[in-house]
Amino acid sequence: MINRVLMPREILIGGGSRFRLPGVLKGLGVIRPLLVADPVMVRLGHADALRDALMREGIEAGIFSDVVEDPTDISVAVVAERVVAGRHDGLVAIGGGSAIDTAKAAAIVVTTGEPLSALKVPRIVDAVVMPVVAIPTTAGTGSEVTRAAVITNAAANEKMLILGTAALPVAAIVDYELTLTCPYRVTVDTGIDALTHALEALVNRNGNPHAEALALSALQQIGANLERVADNLDDHAAREAMMLGALHAGLAVSNTSTALIHGLSRPIGAIFHVPHGMSNAMVLPLVTRFSLSSAPALYAAAARALGFATEADGDVLAGDKLVAAFEALNRRLKVPTLRAFGVDRRRYFDLLPEMVRQGLASGTPNNNPRIPTASEMETLYRLAYEYEGV
Ligand SMILES: [Fe+2]
């Protein structure tokens, strides 16, 4: 059995590590980077502080600050043009998943010259592209260490998955201090996204011992700290632990892939603009219940790592506790139902076939312990809408 494990060439972890960026870029030979910054990071002064730190080391950086939520092929093209026009030789993303995926996709477009719609899965884009350094500002997406970028096809209103080493940042700087200003909803939603990455890596049909170790570490960190950070957004120790959990979850999922939760969640996000972690949360209990019997030992291990079950609990009981705990977590973290979020019932049900088509086309449902048929996918979508919480 041969496992292929991919991760960035360099990962810096710790409070204040963002100020090591000049040294990281010098190590890569990058002298004229473009900072792709989330507008919030610009407003808070983090982007300018990094640019000043670079300037002191003789590195002249440009700043692109018009990153949009759920980046599209069109918004990525704007960044790619800016890279070419400014003769930049690398990209530094500072922000959440949208900023990081924008930078990754722009590097791919600039280097390959191909449109993203031609590069999406099932194609695997293993290629050397312009260097990307990722500095995440949320504890969640894991995009700083994954070989995946999710970009919406603006014309088709569909999330495209770009997969391969071309989408893997060459370096990641994981500094939890950047998450201290992250508001409640973003903190919680991205935290659940990280939890979902760890869970889907652990139970994945592409599972391997390396991803399993990282996923269990992530589940332990997230289980002990997600509610803690939700209760006190200024809890530095909890913020630091969540950042580590999200990093390990990202490394785990990058070396397996996502599964049915993400498969169902991405079309909901693309069509109804539900934030990514929130749409994962909306289907998390449901998909776990659906999948439990196909991998009872792994779901039980997840329940124990999260602290939702004990070693004394048998696998079946631990699995039941996991589903109940996910339902309770959604309630406690105020995850809205689809209806409460404002998704129109008629439009949702009219678009069921399209959501099923997009979900299956992403390929990730096939990585789930229990592989759904198209009609089971539709049933899960129906149940997700009717779900009113407990
Ligand atoms: Fe995710």
For 50, the domain range is 10-179
Query: What's the 250 CA to ligand 1 centre distance in angstroms?
Result: 9
Query: What's the 263 CA to ligand 1 centre distance in angstroms?
Result: 10
Q: Is residue 86 assigned to a domain? A: yes
Query: What's the 366 CA to ligand 1 centre distance in angstroms?
Result: 16
Query: What's the 301 CA to ligand 1 centre distance in angstroms?
Result: 21
Give burial (CB, 10 Å; 0-12/13-18/19+) of 77.
Answer: middle
% the chain with pLDDT above 70? 99
On whether both 50 and 164 belong to a single domain, the answer is yes
For the chain, give the number of residues. 390
- Give the residue-averaged pLDDT of 86-92: 98
Query: What's the 28 CA to ligand 1 centre distance in angstroms?
Result: 28
Query: What's the 89 CA to ligand 1 centre distance in angstroms?
Result: 29
Query: What's the 203 CA to ligand 1 centre distance in angstroms?
Result: 15
On whether both 88 and 200 belong to a single domain, the answer is no
pLDDT tens digit sequence for 131-148? 999 999 999 989 999 999
pLDDT tens digit sequence for 34-88? 999 999 999 999 999 999 999 999 999 999 999 999 899 999 999 999 999 999 9
Q: Which amino acid is at 157?
A: N
Which of residues 179, 205, 236 is at a domain's end?
179
Nearest of 154, 61, 162 to residue 112 by alpha carbon: 162
Structure tokens at 363: 């390929």
Query: What's the 97 CA to ligand 1 centre distance in angstroms?
Result: 9
Query: What's the 189 CA to ligand 1 centre distance in angstroms?
Result: 10
Q: Are the C-beta atoms of residues 88 and 32 closer than 8 Å to each other?
A: yes
pLDDT band at 388 (very low <50, low <70, confident <90, very high): low
Q: Is residue 246 assigned to a domain? A: yes
| pLDDT at site 332 | 97
- The model's pTM is 0.95
Which of residues 179, 202, 235 is at a domain's end?
179
Q: What is the CATH number of the domain that holds 155?
A: 3.40.50.1970
* Distance set, CA 97 to CA 73, 249, 326, 370 (Å): 15, 14, 23, 28
| pLDDT at site 131 | 98
Cis peptide before 122 (omega within 30 of 0): yes
Q: Is residue 1 assigned to a domain? A: no
pLDDT band at 386 (very low <50, low <70, confident <90, very high): confident
On whether both 44 and 121 belong to a single domain, the answer is yes
What's the total number of domains in the chain? 2
Query: What's the 297 CA to ligand 1 centre distance in angstroms?
Result: 23
| pLDDT at site 120 | 95
Query: What's the 264 CA to ligand 1 centre distance in angstroms?
Result: 11
On whether both 161 and 195 belong to a single domain, the answer is no
| pLDDT at site 159 | 87
Which of residues 179, 207, 238 is at a domain's end?
179
On whether both 122 and 18 belong to a single domain, the answer is yes
Query: What's the 80 CA to ligand 1 centre distance in angstroms?
Result: 24
**Angle value at C-alpha 360, between 355 and 365, nearest 5 degrees:** 115
| pLDDT at site 157 | 86
On whether both 128 and 208 belong to a single domain, the answer is no
pLDDT tens digit sequence for 279-313? 999 999 999 999 999 999 999 999 999 999 999 99
On whether both 228 and 171 belong to a single domain, the answer is no
| Predicted confidence (pLDDT) at residue 389 exceeds the cutoff of 70 | no
Query: What's the 261 CA to ligand 1 centre distance in angstroms?
Result: 9
Query: What's the 194 CA to ligand 1 centre distance in angstroms?
Result: 7
Helix (H) or strand (E) holding 241, with range, is: helix 236-254
Q: Where are the beta strands (DSSP E) in 119-241?
A: 132-136, 148-153, 158-163, 171-174
Nearest of 167, 223, 155 to residue 192 by alpha carbon: 223
Q: Is residue 142 assigned to a domain? A: yes
Q: Is residue 140 assigned to a domain? A: yes
Query: What's the 161 CA to ligand 1 centre distance in angstroms?
Result: 11
Query: What's the 61 CA to ligand 1 centre distance in angstroms?
Result: 30
Structure tokens at 20: 């090591």
Question: Over the Cα atoms of the chain, what is R_g?
Answer: 20
**Residue 74, φ and ψ in degrees, nearest 5:** -75, -45
Nearest of 295, 291, 273 to residue 283 by alpha carbon: 291
Query: What's the 141 CA to ligand 1 centre distance in angstroms?
Result: 6
Query: What's the 191 CA to ligand 1 centre distance in angstroms?
Result: 10
Query: What's the 200 CA to ligand 1 centre distance in angstroms?
Result: 10
On whether both 237 and 95 belong to a single domain, the answer is no
Query: What's the 87 CA to ligand 1 centre distance in angstroms?
Result: 32
On whether both 249 and 346 belong to a single domain, the answer is yes
Query: What's the 294 CA to ligand 1 centre distance in angstroms?
Result: 22
Q: Are the C-beta atoms of residues 233 and 187 closer than 8 Å to each other?
A: yes
On whether both 331 and 235 belong to a single domain, the answer is yes
Query: What's the 192 CA to ligand 1 centre distance in angstroms?
Result: 9
Q: Is residue 34 assigned to a domain? A: yes
Query: What's the 125 CA to ligand 1 centre distance in angstroms?
Result: 20
Burial readout 128-165 (b: 16 or more C-beta within 10 A, e: otherwise)? ebbbbbbbbbbbbbbbbbbbbbbbbbeeeebbbbbbbe
Q: Where are the beta strands (DSSP E) in the chain?
A: 10-13, 33-37, 62-64, 90-95, 132-136, 148-153, 158-163, 171-174
Query: What's the 386 CA to ligand 1 centre distance in angstroms?
Result: 23
On whether both 25 and 125 belong to a single domain, the answer is yes
Nearest of 141, 135, 142, 132 to residue 110 by alpha carbon: 132
Query: What's the 26 CA to ligand 1 centre distance in angstroms?
Result: 31
**Cα–Cα distance for residue pair 49/58, rounded to 1 Å:** 14
pLDDT band at 390 (very low <50, low <70, confident <90, very high): very low
| Predicted confidence (pLDDT) at residue 1 exceeds the cutoff of 60 | yes
Query: What's the 276 CA to ligand 1 centre distance in angstroms?
Result: 7
Q: Are the C-beta atoms of residues 347 and 184 closer than 8 Å to each other?
A: no
pLDDT tens digit sequence for 230-257? 999 999 999 999 999 999 999 999 999 9
- Helix, strand, or coil here: 51? helix
Q: What is the CATH number of the domain that holds 215?
A: 1.20.1090.10
Q: Is residue 5 assigned to a domain? A: no
On whether both 77 and 223 belong to a single domain, the answer is no
Query: What's the 257 CA to ligand 1 centre distance in angstroms?
Result: 10
For the chain, give the mean pLDDT: 96
**Cα–Cα distance for residue pair 134/172, rounded to 1 Å:** 5
pLDDT tens digit sequence for 153-186? 999 988 899 999 999 999 999 999 999 999 999 9
Q: Is residue 3 assigned to a domain? A: no
**Cα–Cα distance for residue pair 111/170, rounded to 1 Å:** 15
CB atoms within 10 A of CB 60: 12
Query: What's the 85 CA to ligand 1 centre distance in angstroms?
Result: 32
Q: Are the C-beta atoms of residues 240 and 152 closer than 8 Å to each other?
A: no
